[in-house]
Amino acid sequence: MVFNALALGARSLRTRPSPRLVRHFAASANQAKENQSFKSQLYESTQQRLKRERAEQEKFAQYQTQSPAGRSAALVFALVFFSTGAYYLGSLKPAALPSSSTTPLSEIQPPKHNVSPSNLQAAWADFVEILGKENVSTASGDLESHAGSDWSSYSQKEGEKPFLILYPSSTEEVSRIMKVCHQRVIPVTPYSGGTSLEGHFAPTRGGVCVDFRRMDRILELHKHDLDVVVQPAVGWEELNEEIAKDGLFFPPDPGPGAMIGGMVGTGCSGTNAYRYGTMREWVISLTVVLADGTVIKTRQRPRKSSAGYDLTKLFIGSEGTLGLVTEATLKLTVKPQSENVAVASFSSIQSAAECVTHVVEAGIPVAGVEILDDIQMKCINASKTTSRQWKESPTLFFKFTGNPSAVKEQIGMVQKIVSRTGNTFEFARGKAEMAELWSARKQALWSVMAMKKSPDDHVWTTDVAVPMSKLPDIMEATKEDMTKNGLLAGICGHVGDGNFHAIILFSDRERSIAEGVVHRMVKRAVEMEGTVTGEHGVGLVKRDYLEHELGETTVDTMRRLKLALDPLRLLNCDKVVRTEQPAPGEVKEW
């Protein structure tokens, strides 16, 4: 009995699992369930992603009938699966941080964007969800108008066209757009007034174009603080019309149709720059959407601040390559009590430039001094873009502002300086005459464009700036070069600050001749300690000249800034600084 009981107890001890073994088996069972659950979740997640991508493509195909139909589900699955897997594996071992302060072009690989039809079609559905179908356009007319313009000096290449146009209405919507583009690695080209001249909105990598036309509101006007908060599609002319009701004035005045977003992007100026300065002096703060969708505000509203880096100035002149401006706080000034204009003609560009030098040396506070050469005046007469006939000789246009007595005094002083050279002088005697006299300066570009004789004719508008003392020399040399090469070309510019423009008419067969004239004009400016662009901006046309003006290491520093804020190189690709090696023969020999 005892033996049997002991044997039974021993058998019982052998067959009963220990608590430790019970826990082990339970944990194994739970882990198996968790593994099975994770696999199920992964399978379900993949299936859901696959269904979503397929549904987005079907929605796009219904909306855009001309797109390829019937895409293979297996191809979509493979793209999603391998892209996700590649990203995950790549993230396991992040690249080493750079140790140098600059980024030479030779050290970076070409950007890798995803502009495949499947990715762009799927993104279309994301954009429709953000903006509504009516604000996402794939109409061929819209795509063409956002690819270039007749007045741009950049020659659009085959295939440089956006896939679609987006029309946001708020900073939040722009941020959401950029988050989609950042996630899908889609390049973005910003667009506001479309008046730029150096290829600023050419979509060199395709992708999408963000048109700010719906962001055209004046958000806040602070009369007593003399500042205003505006969206990027507010035009400078419309802004001045509105604030004039309160006796206020915004001085920068580039070409008609220009909008605040583009004016910030290029750091523009205009005919008032001699007295009031450029756009850089009139921007207090910016709200900017960065490449990954992050929203930043560069400053508060005080006129001065010592708080950290001046990010406002960083974005002015960046041409949309570092971020998308969605709001700008601008300085204003009191509208002058009185204004007037005067016109003086001269026998040569040299004598006109010397007259300007005497005006500057006399300290006469004119608001603006503009010059048009004899060819430019002939084009204005021939095109009949103004209401009067002009003397076809080099002509200076003066603008005067201030109180009535000050304006009268300024006119008298300038008239005395002009009379020493024995040339004609005429000033306006009323608002109508003032508008008439100034109209020739504002019609310079359009008058040359009106001289086109065939669809093969093009207009190249470019600018440089040099120290004031060098201005007569470079203008004479450029004019001689254009005449010698048989080109119809006018010269105009803001001679009060050493900045002048060449407006060249040429045919397809004359393109290489025009390129040579512009190349030599830019080279002269750099050799005279000037700049390759006074106000038009760099864009695509002037980017390879920056190293000659500023030095290789300076441009390498700009490239480092670009890569720091836009590492995927999504924003306004290829503008200002290159982020990919040029093709053989693409860069002109210096």
pLDDT in tens, 187-200: 999 999 999 999 99
- What pLDDT does residue 365 have? 92
The span from the CA of 185 to the CA of 323, in Å, is 15
Q: Residue 469: pLDDT above 70?
A: yes
- What pLDDT does residue 93 have? 58
> Could you tell me if 168 and 135 are in contact, meaning their C-beta atoms sit under 8 angstroms apart?
yes
Q: Residue 26: pLDDT above 90?
A: no
Q: Residue 42: pLDDT above 50?
A: no
Q: Which of 42-46, 53-57, 192-196, 368-372 has the lowest mean pLDDT?
A: 42-46
Residues of the chain with pLDDT > 90, as a percent, come to 68
CATH of domain 338-527: 3.40.462.10
Partners of 286 in beta bridges? 328
The model's confidence at residue 35, banded by pLDDT at 50, 70 and 90, is very low
Stronger pLDDT, 503 or 349, i.e. the higher one:
503
Residues of the chain with pLDDT > 70, as a percent, come to 84
- What pLDDT does residue 130 have? 98
pLDDT average, residue stretch 368-385: 92
Domain ranges of the chain: 38-61+70-88, 103-335, 338-527
- Strands (E) across 167-301 are located at 188-191, 208-211, 218-222, 227-230, 248-249, 283-289, 295-297
Helix axes 471-484, 349-361, angle to 10 degrees: 160
Does the CA dihedral 464-466-472-476 come out positive or negative?
A: negative
Q: Residue 104: pLDDT above 70?
A: yes
The model's confidence at residue 342, banded by pLDDT at 50, 70 and 90, is very high
The span from the CA of 381 to the CA of 557, in Å, is 47
pLDDT average, residue stretch 179-186: 98
Partners of 345 in beta bridges? 395
Q: Residue 59: pLDDT above 80?
A: no
pLDDT average, residue stretch 550-559: 98
Stronger pLDDT, 357 or 115, i.e. the higher one:
115
- What pLDDT does residue 425 have? 92
Which tens digit of pLDDT belongs to each residue from 145-169? 999 888 888 888 888 999 999 999 9
Q: Residue 489: pLDDT above 80?
A: yes
Range picked from 167-171, 337-341, 446-450 for highest mean pLDDT: 167-171
The span from the CA of 525 to the CA of 520, in Å, is 9
- What pLDDT does residue 25 have? 44
CA 84 to chain centre: 33
pLDDT average, residue stretch 539-558: 97
Q: Which CATH number fits domain 103-335: 2.60.34.10, 3.30.450.40, 3.30.465.10, 3.40.50.1010?
A: 3.30.465.10
The model's confidence at residue 530, banded by pLDDT at 50, 70 and 90, is very high
Token look-up 């048009």 returns: 372
pLDDT average, residue stretch 5-18: 42
The model's confidence at residue 418, banded by pLDDT at 50, 70 and 90, is very high
Contacting residues for 276 by C-beta, under 8 A, at least 6 apart:
251, 252, 282, 333, 367
Across the chain, what does the average pLDDT equal?
Answer: 87
Q: Residue 227: pLDDT above 70?
A: yes
pLDDT average, residue stretch 120-125: 96
- What pLDDT does residue 468 have? 87
The model's confidence at residue 9, banded by pLDDT at 50, 70 and 90, is very low
Helix axes 73-92, 117-131, angle to 10 degrees: 90
- What pLDDT does residue 443 have? 84
- What pLDDT does residue 50 have? 60
- What pLDDT does residue 64 have? 58
The span from the CA of 188 to the CA of 206, in Å, is 8
